[in-house]
Structure 1
C-alpha cells in the first residue's frame, strides 16, 4: 500500500499570534507547507525578518516551507469617523466624498481613498461596505461626490472596504505601496507573490515584468477577488503560475450564493491548464476564538480538497487567533480524511489530449502507470519543478517525491498537491544509475519497502531543464 501523506498543502498566515520562533516552530511541526506574509499589515523590515525566521526554523525541523508574499493591492476603503463609529439608519442620505479628509467623517459624510469612485458609478448602483453588511444605493453623482441612500444600515466603523455590486471599479491592481513592497519581496527571495485585486491578464503581466526587472523569477499567484476577474479568468490563469480564490471580496461582489459553483469551476480550469490553485478566506474562522472548527468549516475544507485544490489557506486563524497550531493540525486532519475518497485518487485528466513536450509525456505516463498498478511511490528528478507539476495535476493517492538540488525548486513545489520536496543532487550519480539512486532514496525516506513497486523518472543529462526523458517501473529488491 502507498504511504499515507497529506497531499493537500496548508498555507498559514503569520502575524502577532505566530511572530515568535516558538509558535512558528509549532506551525511547522503541525504541517504548515507555505507561510503567508500579509503586506496589508506590518512593515516591510518585519516581513524580511519573518521570512528569514521561517527558513531558519524549517531547516532546523528538516522541512521545506515556501514563503508567499501577499501584496495589499488596491483595496478601496472609506475614511475614519472623527467621533467614532456611526449608526446609519435605512432611508438616510449618506455622502462619499473623496475631497473630505480621511479622518473627518460624520454620520452624514465620509472620505474615501479612491478619488475615481464618482466616475465608476451611476444612479442606482449598489455600493457594499464592510463586506456587504452596509448597503448603499447611489442616488446621484455630483462632481466627485457620490450621494447615496442607505438601504441596509447599522453601525459603521472607519476604514471598512467598499465594493461595487457586480464589479466595475476601474482602480488598478498595483498601488505605489505595492511597487515599493515588490522590491522588498524580490530582495527577500520570496517563493511566491500574490497579486491582489487582479482585473485582467495585463495586471499579471505588469507584476511579472516588474519582478523580473528586480531579478526575481518566482511564482506569481493571481488572486481572484473581483467580479470582472471572472470575465478574464482564462487568460489570467494562463499568464499566472497559479491562482488564489479569495472568497471574501469576491463573495461580496458576486454574492455568496454563487461562490461554490465559481470555486469548483476555477479549481477545475486551473488544474486543466496545469496551474496551482489556493482556496482561501474564512475556511476555519471560528478557530480564531475556539479550539475546534465548526462542522460547516469541516465540510468547507473537505469540499475544497475533493474539488482538487492544491492548497487551503488559514488567515486570521493563525495570524491573530488564539489557537494557531491547533488550526493547522485540524485542517491537516480534515484534508487527510477527504483525500481517502475515490474522487480524490482517480482521474481522467488529459486522457484524450496530446502532449507537447517529452518531459510532459513522461510525467503523464508515470501517473497513468502509477494509478493502474500497486505503485508505492514516485521519485522524480527535477530541475525547475515542471515534471512534478504535471504529475500533480493527476488525482492520485500515490506520493510524488521531487528530487532536486535546487532549494528554490524545492520551495516552489511545496505548494503542489501531492508533491514532497527532497534535497538530492543528481550530479552525485552517473546518468545510468539515476533510477537506481532514486529508488534507493524512496526506501531511505520510508516511502517504499522491499517488494514494493516504484516509478522513477530522470533525464539523460543531469541538471538540464526540461530534460526528463526516461521512466522506469521497478520492484524494490533486497540489495544484500
Structure 2
C-alpha cells in the first residue's frame, strides 16, 4: 500500500549523484527540493536531469521544488574577532560607518532600512536565535543599544532577525529574480517563496513568472508573524503553504510554535491546499543513523496534525545517512497512518465549507469509498482542484489523480494520499477516461470497487466542475 504522507528531500552535496537520488526515490521520496540559497546553475541543471531521468525509468511522478532564498539579513564583518557576551551584557548594533566612533562591543548590520521602526523593548535574535537581545536604547539613527537576555558567542556574518517586526525588505530580491529565470528555464514544477508577509508578495512573484510563459504553483513559506496575521489572505493567493519552523521559531516564543503549526495546517486542510512541515524533523540523522525519540514524535505529530508533506533539509542535503533518513520517515508514516485508520479513529470531516457542488461531491466520494471499502478513488480533475479537496477529506484509500496537464500532475503530487497519473487523451469523455484507466491499470484486480469522480462537460463546453461520483466495479476482460 502506498503511504499517504509525502516526503520532500532536499538535494545537496550529499545527494548529488544519480545513485544517491535513485536511493531516495526507492526509499520513498517523491518530491525534491532545490535550495537556491546554496549551489549554482550547473548543480541544479544536473539535479533536474537526474530527476527527469529517474521519472522516465520508474514511471513515477517526481516533483521538483525550487526554493528561493529571499532577503538574507546578515551581520557584516568589520574585522573584529568573535566576542563573548554574557547575560545582561550590552552591545551596540549599527551600520559600518558607526564602528569607528564606538569603543564598546559592536555588531555591524549594514542595511539601513532594518533600523526603521525599531523601538525600545523590541527583541533581536542573532545566529538562528542562539543569542537573544532586547533593545534598551536608540542611541542615534542606525545605532541602537542591545542588552543580552542570554550568554553566547557573537561572530560576524550571522543571520539576524527582529521578531514581530514587518521586514521592510521585499521578499523577492534581484537574486531571486535571476534564480527564478534559471528555474523556469530548467523546468521546475513548483516554486517556494521565502519570507512572505502579505498576499501581494505572491502576486509579485506570479507577475515575474509571466515573462517566462509559465504559471507554476507557488508555495508561501510562513516565517514571519506578519504572515500569520494575514494567513487567510495569503492562503487565498498562494497554491500551498510551508510551515518553515526555523525562522518562524525565531519570530515566535518557542512555546507558541506547536500551536501555530496546528493552526496553519488546519487552515490549509480546510482550504483544500497542500501544507508542508519543515525544519529539523530528523536533524540528528545528519550525523547519526538513529533519530531521537523527540524527533520521531515530532514527525508523527506533524502527520497527525494534517500535514500533506514532511520535509528533510540538511538530513538529505549534507547528511551522512540520506537514504536511511527517508526510510525511517516512511516507517514512521506507516505506523501513524495505521493508527489513524483504526476503526472509529478518523472521522472524515475535512474539505472546508461544503456549500458548493465540487466540495460536497468530494466529501461524498470520500465517504462512499469508506463505506464500501473501495480499493481506491480515481479522480479526473483537469485543474487538480477536486483532487486537493478529496485529499483534504483524508480518505483511507489512495487517490489516483488523472490530468493531462504536466504542471497539474506534478503539483497534485504534494497532496496527501494522491498518486498522479496521465489519462488517455484520445478519449474526450472524462468519466470514460477514468474507467479506462481502472480497466487498464494492473493496480486494480477483477472485482475491485473503485469510486470514480469526474467532470462531465456540457455540449459545447470543454471545462466543467466535478459533477459525477460513481461506484465502479472492475470486471474481467470477457465481461467488459
What TM-score does the superposition give when structure 1 sets the normalisation length?
Answer: 0.91
Match of 2:9 among 6, 12, 15: 12
Does 2:51 match 1:54?
Answer: yes
Change in Cα spacing, 1:339 to 1:398, as seen in structure 2 (3 Å) is same
Deviations along 1:90-139, whole A, 9 cap, x unmatched? Answer: 3433222223599xx99822322522222131122221111221122223
What secondary structure is seen at the aligned counterpart in 1 of 2:39? coil
Equivalent residues in 2 for 1:306-321, closer than 5 Å: 306-321=304-319
For residue 276 of structure 2, what is the aligned residue in structure 1?
278
Does 2:199 match 1:201?
Answer: yes
For residue 290 of structure 1, what is the aligned residue in structure 2?
288
Aligned residue-pair number: 470
For residue 184 of structure 2, what is the aligned residue in structure 1?
186
Contact 1:8 1:335 in 2 (8 A): yes
For residue 385 of structure 1, what is the aligned residue in structure 2?
384
Gapped regions of structure 2 (runs ≥ 5): none
Equivalent residues in 2 for 1:80-479, closer than 5 Å: 80=77, 82=79, 84-100=81-97, 108-141=105-138, 142-342=140-340, 345-350=346-351, 353-355=354-356, 357=357, 359-428=358-427, 433-442=432-441, 444=442, 446=443, 448-460=444-456, 464-466=462-464, 468-479=466-477
| Structure 1: distance between partners of 2:247 and 2:163 | 10
| Structure 2: distance between partners of 1:57 and 1:113 | 45
What secondary structure is seen at the aligned counterpart in 1 of 2:124? strand
For residue 27 of structure 2, what is the aligned residue in structure 1?
30
Note the C-alpha offset of 1:351: 7.9
What TM-score does the superposition give when structure 2 sets the normalisation length?
Answer: 0.91
Note the C-alpha offset of 1:465: 4.1
What secondary structure is seen at the aligned counterpart in 2 of 1:340? helix
What secondary structure is seen at the aligned counterpart in 2 of 1:167? coil
Contact 1:164 1:253 in 2 (8 A): yes
Note the C-alpha offset of 1:46: 2.4
Farther-moved stretch of structure 1 (368-377 vs 88-97): 88-97
What secondary structure is seen at the aligned counterpart in 2 of 1:395? coil
Farther-moved stretch of structure 1 (461-470 vs 433-442): 461-470
RMSD over equivalenced CA pairs, Å: 2.5
Contact 2:380 2:430 in 1 (8 A): no
Contact 1:186 1:214 in 2 (8 A): yes
| Structure 2: distance between partners of 1:318 and 1:277 | 20
Change in Cα spacing, 1:435 to 1:88, as seen in structure 2 (3 Å) is closer
Gapped regions of structure 1 (runs ≥ 5): none
| Structure 2: distance between partners of 1:57 and 1:370 | 32
